[in-house]
Amino acid sequence: MTASEGFAPAKINLTLHVTGRREDGYHELDSLVVFADIGDRLRLRESETTMLTVDGPMAAGVPADASNLVVKAARLMGLSADIHLEKHLPNAAGLGGGSSDAAATLKALSEMSGKPLPEGLLGLGADIPVCLHGRAARMRGVGEAITPVAGLPELHAVLVNPKLPVMTREVFAGLERADNPAMPEELPKFDDAGALVEWLATMRNDLEAPAMQAEPVIQQVFDVLSVTPGCHLTRMSGSGGTCFGLYSDAETAASAAGRLREQHPSWWVEAVRLNASEP
């Protein structure tokens, strides 16, 4: 096979507990991760040299050189390809877009060549292992410990990003403490989405406060989203600045998204399903 396509879904941290800091400076995390039914798309063809082109509605500011994780992923595979990336997810948004793009590239190149995935993938980024998994999972450590979470209910959500990149390093630097409590050792079983949302409300994203301090507009996004009709829970994903609201059904989520687009036409707003591929 000389060509392949890939889908790189948005990664959503339903929870994100910062539980420690290692001697090498990396933070220990405990996070419940799911994926949305929207994302970036990739097309790959065998080539003598690796080339990356980027377009799409969110392509502005995305590098097409060797600094892009897609190019780094191809080099780690030891393969050359002509890669086209169609960007639908905002950049540096807490949605794991770059990591998801890299994971999709790795999968596509493995499929094209028959080569197994290489070692050292965590060096591409902490979200690479969970993005390779691509389904609901608990992510611990510095991102290397992935535990599948089966049977998690599908959720209806609205994602909102003010189109302002948020630097992860700056957010972590603003943490008041890094030794916060983890999630329960055994996660509950949820009969329906309502039970899941109720439990999520007792959990946290420890990066919300430092992210809002670094970029106050995230607080505005959070506040505006939280008062949309039918919103049961508002939270930030990853290190920001995308926030999400959870709703009872797709119609309510779509109505909230429409209202937000009218009120804030410069923001990126999408109604999505989370964990839609899970049984």
- The CB density around residue 240, as the number of other CB atoms within 10 Å, is 31
Q: Is 101 left (phi over 0), alpha (psi -120 to 50) or beta?
A: alpha
Report the run of H or E that residue 36 belongs to, with start and end.
Answer: strand 27-46
Write down the catalytic residue from 55, 127, 163, 189: 127
Written as one letter, the residue type at 198 is E
| Residue 11 annotated to the active site | yes
Q: Please give the backbone phi and psi of residue 228, each rounded to the nearest 5 degrees, phi first.
A: -70, 140
The residue among 63, 65, 64, 55 whose CA lies nearest residue 92 is 63
Length of the chain: 279
Give the residue from 135, 156, 147, 141 showing the smallest Cα distance to 24: 141
Q: Which listed residue (11, 72, 87, 107) is catalytic?
A: 11
* Strand partners for 13: 33
Q: Which amino acid is at 260?
A: L
SS (H, E, C) 148-205: ECCCCCCEEEEEEECCCCCCHHHHHHCCCCCCCCCCCCCCCCCCCHHHHHHHHCCCCE
| Cα separations in angstroms, 128 against 69, 98, 117, 158, 233 | 10, 9, 12, 24, 27
> In degrees rounded to 5, what are phi and psi of residue 141?
70, -140
Q: State the Cα–Cα distance between residues 112 and 54, nearest whole angstrom.
A: 21
**Which sequence positions are flagged as catalytic?**
11, 127
